[in-house]
Amino acid sequence: MIKTVENQARLRVRISAFEPLPGKGTSMVENEKPAFDVAAFLRSAGLGRRIVQIAPKQPFFSQGDPADSVFYLQKGRARVTVVSATGKEATITLLGDGDFVGEEALAAMGGKRLATATSISACTALKISREEMTRVMQEERDFSALFLKFLLERSMRIQADLVDQLFNSSEKRLARILLLMAEFGKPSSYAGSVDGTLGNPDEEGQYIPKISQETLAEMIGTTRSRVSFFMNRFRKLGFIKYNGGIQVHRSLLNVILHDQMPDDNAEQPPIAGTAGE
């Protein structure tokens, strides 16, 4: 009988060890780590990150600089270029709101920039140190998923650029560059919907940042005179307008999608249903 009472007392002690203290029933919930806000992280400064303002035509970083940070472009448009040993420049990709640049900083400690990132328009960017970028990728699954999605999309875009360079004429490459510049930063009339339609047919078009014909020529790998020729042709066909800036019409995208760009003969009449839409 005495042993039974002792055993029951010991059992009550063991059970009580697992019971929450008065007023502490939610202590474990209260101590849980708050959910990570990816959007808040990318729009504000903090430990290991700061917001920088970059004027038009100024570099985020230059080829050969130490690769010690990653930039997140909050607002603005930019391009990434590389220069060969002989001084020839080529554009790798264009950047818009929500893009990362400088991700090579994560590849190896003490590495060098492989390219130059230069603003096309005034830019606001979040500069994130390599250490902070590495930490948040390791600790925050949502951020890692976002960054991985960006890298995959960047890879697909560069692959499309390579195909464009290998197989398309300089005229089509110029058309694609104009469309990409018109799409960056915010939803535009060129964004295709799920069913393949191309937005409001009454849209007049989207303005692109101010850019010289010399820069466009560098980006597509041709001469300024050819760019001038193609731009005048696009204007006559109704694909673009000059009205205090370059305004790109949605009909240019229709032509690219359906591979119906007129031949190099500039005297050929416009394609039915595209000019003057």
Alpha-carbon distance 215 to 70, whole Å?
A: 25
Residue at token pair 């230069």:
118
138: left (phi over 0), alpha (psi -120 to 50) or beta: alpha
β partners of residue 240: 248
Residue 10 has φ and ψ, to the nearest 5°, of -65, -40
**Whose CA is closest to 267, among 226, 222, 232, 224?**
232
Please state, in angstroms and rounded to a whole number, the distance separating the CA atoms of residues 51 and 75.
11
pLDDT score for 116:
96
Q: What is the pLDDT along the chain (277 residues), one digit of tens a residue?
A: 555 555 555 545 454 544 555 555 555 545 666 789 999 999 999 999 999 999 999 999 999 999 999 999 999 999 999 998 888 888 888 898 999 999 999 986 778 999 999 999 999 999 999 999 999 999 999 999 999 999 999 888 888 878 887 888 888 889 888 888 887 434 333 333 323 333 343 356 788 888 888 888 888 888 999 999 999 999 998 899 988 789 998 888 766 665 555 554 444 434 333 333 3
Looking at the domain covering 169-192+199-277, what would its CATH class be?
mainly alpha
pLDDT of residue 263: 53
Which tokens sit at 96?
């818009």
Strand partners, 179: none
Model pLDDT, residue 10: 56
Q: Whole-model pTM?
A: 0.68
Please state at what angle helix 213-220 crosses helix 224-237, rounded to 10 degrees: 100
Tokens read off for 251: 């009909």
Domain boundaries, the chain: 34-167, 169-192+199-277
Alpha-carbon span 49 to 1, nearest angstrom: 70
CA-nearest of 140, 131, 139 to 47 is: 131
Q: Does this chain's domain 34-167 share its CATH topology with 169-192+199-277?
A: no
| Domain 34-167 fold | Jelly Rolls (2.60.120)
Pairing state between β 246-248 and 59-61: unpaired
Nearest C-alpha neighbor of 272 from the set 251, 253, 248:
251
CA distances from 63 to 14, 47, 213, 225, 254 (A): 66, 26, 24, 29, 37
